[in-house]
Homo-oligomer: A and B are copies of this chain.
Amino acid sequence: MPVSDVKYRKIYNRQKDIVERRIEKVFGRLKPDSLYKPAAYIANSGGKRLRSFLVQISAAAVGGKFKDVYNSAVAIELFHNFTLVHDDIMDNADKRRGMPTLHVKYDLSAAVLAGDGLIAVAYDYLLKDCDGEDIDVVKDFTRAMIEVCEGQSLDKDLESAKKFAVDDYLVMINKKTAALLRASCEIGAKLGGGTKEEIKALSKYADNLGMAFQLQDDLLDILGSEDKFGKKPGGDLVEGKKTFLLITALERAKGENNKALQRMVKNNGIPRKEVKKYSAIFEELNVFDEARKEIKKYSQKAVKALKGLKDSEEKEILLWLVSELLGRSN
């Protein structure tokens, strides 16, 4: 591992801890407990805190300071957790980060309301970092919220769709996943005092990083090891989720393979014992390689977007982040 990697990871972890401690303090003094304890339960349940790091590093990459955007960094994480709580309700998920989901641990009402409370408090924290001249930042945040809702809705549409193409999937993840990463970088860059060009560069970086990140997530769902990712491989196959992999496979498959895939779609998934079989079909159809190619394409675009920034350690960290997140896609 190059020395710079160690250094950058240290910076990442240091800033992650700072945000972590701030998130812990958000709900401590707020009442009533019936609202804020469930909200704290999810908000304090860990995660990479990637989005809050993007806010901070984007601010620093354009000449701002980490500490000027701590509230916004917290806001972005609360936003992210709001989406997790409500998505888990909609997906009927019972586990998240190895723990019972909020509606399981508490109940449906508590989960709906905790999500609402999280996004409300998120706006509150964002506004702490905003003067009148920063009203654009609130617009970016709101735009992201609209897109994330649209993305989640498109994802639900895909579930029941009879006809679908790779492009539908890409539009969906652009809204559901990339939009919040984009907002993270834009908000950081704007609050950090970035120029129009710098903001645009970071927005493009995040957009492509987000796309690659989600495709990688789909790939690791099947190819990742349980030890490393904390969940059994193939969950998406079991649920019959229309990921990039499945849609690409359906476009390519013929004969028996096609029949098997159609069966999976019709039955909304497969028994867990068939995961290996379907994984072999994907392999045979070169679907994993296709995903790796796409991830590489988006990664390269993310890297290229950074040309719009002046050279700096922060720019190096943004580059490192691409390989850190996406360099291990198999």
Contact = CB atoms under 8 A, between A and B. Distances in A.
A138 B149 CA distance: 20
Number of copies: 2
B86 A112 contact: yes
A142 B131 CA distance: 15
Given A133-B132, A149-B116, A153-B32, A124 B109 contact: no
Contact of A112 (B89, B127, B135, B157): B89
Contact of A120 (B132, B145, B157): B145
A133 B90 CA distance: 39
Contact of A157 (B32, B131, B157): B32
B109 A156 contact: yes
Interface string A141-166: 01101100110111011000000000
A153 B113 contact: yes
A185 interface: no
A210 to B, nearest CB: 19
A130 interface: yes
A108 B92 CA distance: 11
Interface string A115-128: 11101110110010
A153 B117 CA distance: 10
Given A35-B152, A90-B108, A120-B149, 6 more contacts: A32-B157, A86-B112, A119-B119, A124-B146, A131-B135, A132-B135
